Chains A and B, each alone.
Chain A
Amino acid sequence: MNILLVDDERKFVTMLARRLELRGFAVTCVYTGIEALKVVQEGAKFDVAVLDVKMPGIGGIELRRELQRLDGDMKFVFLTGHGSDRDYSVGAKEAALYLPKPLKIDDLVDVLSKVTGKTAGGRGENLSQIKSD
C-alpha cells in the first residue's frame, strides 16, 4: 500500500513514516499541502493520503478536495491535534476517516486497511512478521 503522509510537524512525520515502513507500508512524506499537490501532479500514485487537518497554508480539508480532483481513486484519512466535536463532524461531512493525535499505530493500520481494502503488502523489515515468529 502506498501512503502519502502530509503534516507540518516534521519529527512526527519522520517517526510515523518509519513505524509504518516497519509494518510493510510504502510512505512518501511531505510537510505542506503545496508539496503534496506537486508530488501528485508529477504523477506519483497513492492508495491513501493521511492528512493533518490544521497546517499553515492549505489545510487538510481543502487539500483533500484538491487531491481528489487530481486523483479520484485516492482515499483519505485525517489526523488532528484538536479532537473537538466540530472536528469529528467535519471528518464525517468530508466522508473521510478521522483519527485524533496522539494516535495508536494499530488504530491507524486498521483504518488504512478499511479505507483502501488492502493490507500493507510490503517486504523488507516487517515488524508483524518478527512478532509472529
Chain B
Amino acid sequence: MDRKQDLFNYASLALFGRVNASISHELKNIMAIISETAGLLGDLSEMAKGGAGIDPDMLISSIDSIAEEIERGFTTIRQMNRFSHSVDVPIGSIDLMEVLDLVGQLCGYLAFAGKMRIHPCKDTAPIVQTSPFILQAVIYQTVAGIFQKTGPDKELNVSVQPRDDASWQMLFDGAGITAVEMPGGDGIERMAASIGVAIHWEPAEDCLEMKIPFSI
C-alpha cells in the first residue's frame, strides 16, 4: 500500500479517535455531576428520614443542576452527531461558518483549549464545494495545535472573507502563536493540499491564513 495514503488514512482515523475521546470525557464529567447530585439528594433523604430538616433551596438547586447537566449532555451529543455526519458525503457544499462553529464546539472539549472567537462573515454565506470531513479535520487540527502551544487562557480570533474570485481567506490570529513549527504539524499541510487548501503561517505576525478554494 502507498505509504503517503497510509499516513493520510491514519491521520483521519486519529482525528476521529481524538474527537471521540474528548467527547466521551465530557460526557463522563456530565454523568459524574448528575451522579453526585443524585447522591446528595439521596443523602438528604436519608437525613430527612432520621428527622433532620431539609433546606428547600438546596433541593431546588440540586434539581436545577441535574436539568442543566442533562441539557449539556444533549448539546454534547448533538455536536457528536454533527461530527459523525461530516463523513456522509465525500464531496459536498458546506458553509465555512458552520464548520467553524462545529470546530469551536469540539475544541471546547479539549482540556488545553482556550476560547475561539468566530467573527461573523460580512459577505454572503461562505459556501465551498469540498470534502467536509477533510476540511473540518484540517481546521480542527490547526486550532487544537495552536491551543496546545498557547494554552487555555488564550483567545483565538477567526474570520472569513473573500480572498479573490476563486477562494475564501480564513484567518487565525490573536492567541500569541510564536512557535516556529506549523501548528498541527506537516501532516496538516498535506491533508489541506489534498483539497486545494493552502496554509500560510507567519509566527512573527501571530497569524495563520488558510486559502480555501470555492470548489476543489
Contact = CB atoms under 8 A, between A and B. Distances in A.
Interface residues of A, number: 27
Nearest to A16: B36
A57 B151 contact: yes
A80 to B, nearest CB: 8
Nearest to A82: B25
Contact of B112 (A56, A100, A105, A131): A56
A29 interface: no
Contacts of A18: 40
Nearest to A23: B43
Interface residues of B, number: 29
Contacts of B50: 130-131, 133
Interface of A: 8-9, 11-12, 15-16, 18-19, 22, 54-57, 59, 81-83, 100-103, 105, 125, 127, 130-131, 133
Interface of B: 21, 24-26, 28-29, 31-37, 39-40, 43, 46-47, 49-50, 52, 62, 65, 69, 111-112, 151-153
Please name the 6 residue pairs, one residue from A and one from B, whose CB atoms are nearest each other, closest first. Answer: A81-B28, A56-B152, A15-B36, A130-B50, A102-B35, A101-B32
Given A19-B43, A82-B28, 15 more contacts: A9-B29, A11-B69, A12-B33, A12-B36, A15-B36, A15-B62, A16-B36, A19-B36, A22-B47, A56-B111, A81-B28, A81-B32, A82-B25, A101-B28, A131-B50
